[in-house]
Amino acid sequence: MAEAVEYDVVVLGGGPAGENVVDRTCAAGLSTALVEAELIGGECSYWACIPSKALLRPALARADARRVPGLAGAVTGALDAQAVFAHRDYWTGNWKDDGQVDWLDSIGAHSYRGHGRLAGPRTVAVEGAEGEHHVLAARHAVVVATGSRAVIPPLPGIAGARPWTSREATSAREVPGRLVIVGGSVVAAEMATAWQALGSRVTVLVRGSGLLPRMEPFAGELVADALREAGAEVRTGVSVEAVVREGSSGPVRVVLEGGEIVEGDELLMATGRAPRTDDLGLETVGLAPGEWIDVDESCRVPGHDWLYAVGDVNHRVLLTHQGKYQARIAGAAITARAAGTTEPDTGPWGAHTATADRRAVPQAVFTDPEAAAVGLTLAEAERAGHRVRAVDYETGKVSGAGLYADGYRGRARMVVDLDREVLLGVTFVGPGAAELVHAATIAVAGEVPIGRLWHAVPAFPTISEVWLRLLEAYRG
């Protein structure tokens, strides 16, 4: 084995979570190495959040414009798919990470291209793309931030069908005439919205009862209704049994339970995620390869005072912004422990303890209409044993919503803990709803009493006035 190069911190994985750890530890004066096998910036930057929103933004802008008097008649044509793709390519840096490499250099981080594996406690072995080998030793911490990958179920014929995952769905350069999507997740709903708007004839096959199963049921219902109105077919309660692709470029046939066949030109499998831990050398430190990595509230792996895991790989919350939040927590904890502070900060900032990824997780889904939520749904709150009340309001009745779009359709719900009179969860569905969720996040994370929220007066005339209507409905 090559002679080890020593750093204070070694980070495995250069996505947003890994980058944020590097940023924090370098800023604290700790020498830090980052190991990445693909592009620095990770899944979010090149195959998920960024390209998907670049594809979706023209679709949503056109939909909003068509609801505005005086403008609707001017927005009648199809989207320019090549211009949309060019916009997406710009935001992904044309799948080049030069800018991220320059940023790492500017903060004093050291980067290694290649596949990194644990080779025992505090040790990482890196095999470079051209066969070179490096051994990195960490004085204080190794951080696993390798993220997750798409799961494709082992259906008969699936390998020969060459299905899309989220990566192909966000990077494709041609609009398929017919796109079949299997799954009801955020990926399924957003990509159905994007590709339907770009001209595909979309069919969504959902095994469960509806889209967006982790949100309030009405969120998925409103999104499915809008997709159907746009021309897509959304079918629930259906199970896929096999897939057949004719030749190398022929149509793909999706065989449903009972024998019915749904045909498309491309197939997107949006059926879940798995951790990228199969070949990380976890077995060398007593952990199970291929499994999610359990962590404590400082994102440290129990029983390993030098090992941390942030982002998707720890399975707390599979969202980029929460992974970055965990990275900030882990970076602060590593820095404090390196300086000899062993107890986490439990003061007002709670700088060393992750709590927001347990009870105040915000999420925005960029469908038409948008769906955004934070905290618990009504069903989750009831299952957790809280005494709760759900308060609903039709957002279209708010003046600001009516001015935003003719025929505004949307709904808002807040879930109130009746014993403490604080919010446990809030959900918004409707055009522009994604911009409402941060106010709700503050209310949930801060456990702001309902009585104080009454004095947080929303500006008139904005969609945020829905807060006033929800509070009025709660007070009766």
> What are the residues whose beta carbons fall under 8 Å from the beta carbon of 204, sequence distance 6 or more?
181, 183, 184, 188, 189, 192, 211, 224, 227, 232, 233, 234, 235
pLDDT tens figures, 60-98: 999 999 999 999 999 999 999 999 999 999 999 999 999
Asked whether 389 and 474 are in contact (CB, 8 A), the reply is yes
Whether 158-271 shares its CATH topology with 369-475 is answered: no
- Sequence-ordered strand ranges (E) for 397-438: 411-417, 422-429
pLDDT tens figures, 165-192: 999 999 999 999 999 999 999 999 999 9
Residue with tokens 């057949």: 244
- Model pTM? 0.94
Looking at domain 369-475, its CATH superfamily turns out to be FAD/NAD-linked reductase, C-terminal dimerisation domain (3.30.390.30)
Output the pLDDT for position 343.
59
Q: Angle 98-107/16-27 helices, nearest 10 degrees?
A: 20
Output the pLDDT for position 288.
97
pLDDT tens figures, 455-473: 999 999 999 999 999 999 9
Give, as one character, the DSSP assignment of residue 345.
Answer: P
Residue with tokens 């609009």: 175
pLDDT tens figures, 19-32: 999 999 999 999 99
Residue with tokens 């944020």: 20
Which two structure tokens, joined as six digits, stand for 242? 């096999």
The architecture of the domain spanning 158-271 is: 3-Layer(bba) Sandwich (3.50)
The domains of the chain are located at: 4-41+97-149+275-356, 158-271, 369-475
Confidence of residue 352 (pLDDT cuts 50, 70, 90): confident
pLDDT tens figures, 400-441: 999 999 999 999 999 999 999 999 999 999 999 999 999 999
Question: CATH classification of 4-41+97-149+275-356, choosing from 3.50.50.60, 3.40.50.150, 3.30.70.890, 3.20.20.70?
Answer: 3.50.50.60
